């Protein structure tokens, strides 16, 4: 339908003109993760406010398909102003809602990669887990 065409256009727009793509000078944390089905990686860089809890700015780097890139781009906007605790609660439904289209089981790892990387990066930053690399399950 028309609604889903609009969302597809939005995904393509974020793919072609990614928001907040690139390095940031002094991130509070950066984390990289891989989609094991294709080998594409995304790095998420997060700068926190002085409270060490509220997200001031998010950027990402790395390459992948339209869904993964659009998801990272949209997430980078979505996360601004959120707390790390709020980031931690984001689930797969939140990601598909953000993308606005149904994602096939084949592509769900593409869609959730950036969110998983951001969450693992935050958990490492908070000292909750010690992992070196994220791969989406
Ligand atoms: Fe459709 Fe990559 S998102 S081919
Ligand atoms: Fe690699 Fe989607 S095909 S992230």
Q: How far is the CA of 38 from the centre of ligand 1 (A)?
A: 12
Please give the model's pTM, rounded to 2 decimal places: 0.91
Using the atom order of ligand 2, give the atom closest to the CA of residue 39. Answer: 1
Q: How far is the CA of 52 from the centre of ligand 2 (A)?
A: 32
How far apart, in Å, are the Cα atoms of 34 and each of 1, 2, 7, 16, 130? Answer: 33, 33, 25, 21, 17
Using the atom order of ligand 1, give the atom closest to the CA of residue 15. Answer: 3
Spell out the domains of the chain, with CATH numbers in brackets: 2-135 (3.90.1010.10)
Q: How far is the CA of 80 from the centre of ligand 1 (A)?
A: 26
Cα(107)–Cα(110) distance, integer angstroms: 5
Reading the chain (137 residues) residue by residue, the pLDDT tens digits are 556 788 899 999 999 999 999 999 999 999 999 999 999 999 999 999 999 999 999 999 999 999 999 999 999 999 999 999 999 999 999 999 999 998 999 999 999 999 999 999 999 998 877 666 677 86
ipTM computed for the complex: 0.81
Cα(89)–Cα(129) distance, integer angstroms: 16
């Amino acid at each position: 339908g028309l609604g889903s065409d609009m969302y597809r256009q939005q995904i393509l727009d974020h793919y072609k003109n990614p928001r907040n793509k690139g390095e940031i000078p002094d991130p509070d944390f950066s984390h990289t993760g891989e989609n094991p089905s294709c080998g594409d990686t995304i790095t998420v860089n997060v700068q926190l406010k002085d409270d060490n809890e509220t997200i001031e700015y998010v950027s990402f780097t790395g390459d992948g398909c339209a869904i993964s890139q659009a998801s990272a781009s949209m997430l980078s906007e979505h996360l601004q102003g959120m707390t790390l605790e709020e980031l931690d609660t984001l689930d797969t439904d939140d990601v598909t809602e953000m993308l606005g289209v149904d994602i096939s089981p084949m592509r769900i790892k593409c869609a959730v990669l950036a969110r998983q990387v951001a969450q693992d990066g935050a958990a490492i930053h908070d000292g909750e887990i010690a992992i070196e690399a994220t791969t989406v399950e």
